[in-house]
Amino acid sequence: MSRPQPDHGPHQNPGVPTDRPPGPPVIEARGVTKAFDGVTAVHGVSLTIDPGRRVGLIGPNGAGKTTLFNCLLGVVSVDSGTVEVDGHDVTGRPVHQIARLGVGRTFQRIELFAEATVREHLLIAERTRRGGGSLWKDLIGRGRPRLDEIEACDRVLELLGLDDVADQASERLSLGRGRLLEIGRALMTRPKILLLDEPSSGLDSAETERLAETLLAVQSTEGFAVLLVEHDVAFVENFTERCYAMDTGALIGEGPTAEVLASDAVREAYLGSAAVTR
């Protein structure tokens, strides 16, 4: 099976679709607020991600992006406001219950099992999705994966271009391919949305471009939505259709990505008022 080709090059933002997808938003947050030790990290933030859309979340360091991200995932509880996934109120629910509704994620710092092979990582994710109780048996040679499990893993390996390293230990992968493996592990859960936490972290510009190309091709084929939390503004500009911008815990912009990135408020947050007025 050949890998799908993206409909748009890495330097062409596909634009914002004018049609609204049927059904409820895959994620909708309303008035989310979270404070730590009296310091408000997120203040009254609302956002909507429709099925199949690519949405960015940007802001300078300390803007509250990671806290909001973790509120959506159930990693931290909200102080006020609500979070819905696919029309279900998940406010206060634990992480695993939210994940079962179709929410996949990656981590800013790669979290892989060094000695496990690339295919074994995906097999573990597939067994977890199915509720299998013997995840580690495959890693120590006491179990044997079924044909349908192997086929599911191999399909994702081919989608991401990792089939040539399927039997290599993950510790031998480049950082860029390690990022793809994390995405592949998330894809094994059959997500309705992927929440990507700084996927370009540690990558050079060429690796980031390849990652964006692969993500766009796979997302356009599989149809899941994406929330991209990212410092690399060029990545956000080239990949996402819509964007939310935060600063000091609050939203300072939302809308089509190009419009948000061009706004004075967002430019000031990143560059400072002097740079904006020049």
Residue 5 domain-assigned? no
Residue 158 lies in a domain: yes
**Residue 136 pLDDT grade (very low, low, confident, very high; cuts 50, 70, 90):** low
Is the pLDDT at 142 greater than 80? The verdict is: no
When mean pLDDT is compared across 29-43, 59-73, 143-157, 210-224, the lowest value belongs to 143-157
Both 91 and 31 in a single domain? Answer: yes
SS3 content of the chain, % helix, strand, coil (to 5): 40, 20, 40
Domain match, 202 and 136 both: no
Residue 170 lies in a domain: yes
Is the pLDDT assigned to residue 199 strictly greater than 60? Answer: yes
Domain extent for 136: 112-190
Residues 132 and 254 in one domain: no
- pLDDT at residue 125 greater than cutoff 90: no
- Total domains in the chain come to 2
Whether residue 273 has pLDDT greater than 60: no
- Percent of the chain past pLDDT 70, that is, above it, reads 84
Residue 234 lies in a domain: yes
Amino acid at 201: S
Strand partners, 10: none
In this structure, the strands spanning 54-58 and 242-247 are parallel
Q: Are residues 201 and 268 in the same domain?
A: yes
In a domain, 217, yes or no: no
Average pLDDT of span 231-253 = 94
**Residues 147, 97 share a domain:** no
Q: How far is residue 259's CA from residue 262's CA, in Å, rounded to a whole number? A: 5
pLDDT given for residue 264 in this prediction? 94
* E strand intervals along the chain: 27-36, 39-49, 54-58, 80-85, 88-89, 103-105, 193-197, 225-229, 242-247, 250-256
Residue 35 sits in the same domain as residue 90: yes
Q: State whether residue 55 is helix, strand or coil.
A: strand
Residue 10 within a domain: no
Note whether 88 and 126 are same-domain residues.
Answer: no
Q: What is the pLDDT of residue 107?
A: 82
Whether pLDDT at 6 is above 60: no
193-197 vs 225-229, strand pairing mode? parallel
Q: Are residues 141 and 257 in the same domain?
A: no
How far, in Å, CA of 78 to CA of 74, rounded? 8
198 and 182 fall within a common domain:
no
Find the mean pLDDT for residues 240-256. Answer: 96
The percentage of residues in the chain with a pLDDT greater than 90, rounded to a whole number, is 66
Domain shared by 203 and 78, yes or no: yes
**The token pair that represents 167 in the structure block:** 């039997």
- 215 belongs to a structural domain: no
Dmax of the chain from CA atoms?
Answer: 66
Q: Are residue 30 and residue 82 in the same domain, yes or no?
A: yes
Residue 16 lies in a domain: no
80 and 30 within one domain? yes
Kindly tell me if the per-residue pLDDT of 87 is higher than 80. yes
**Cα Rg, the chain, nearest whole Å:** 19
pLDDT one-digit tens code per residue, 10-58: 444 444 344 555 678 999 999 999 999 999 999 999 999 999 999 999 9
Q: How much is the pTM?
A: 0.84
List pLDDT tens digits, range 22-33. Answer: 678 999 999 999
Residue 37, pLDDT score: 93
Could you say which of 190, 215, 243 is where a domain stops?
190
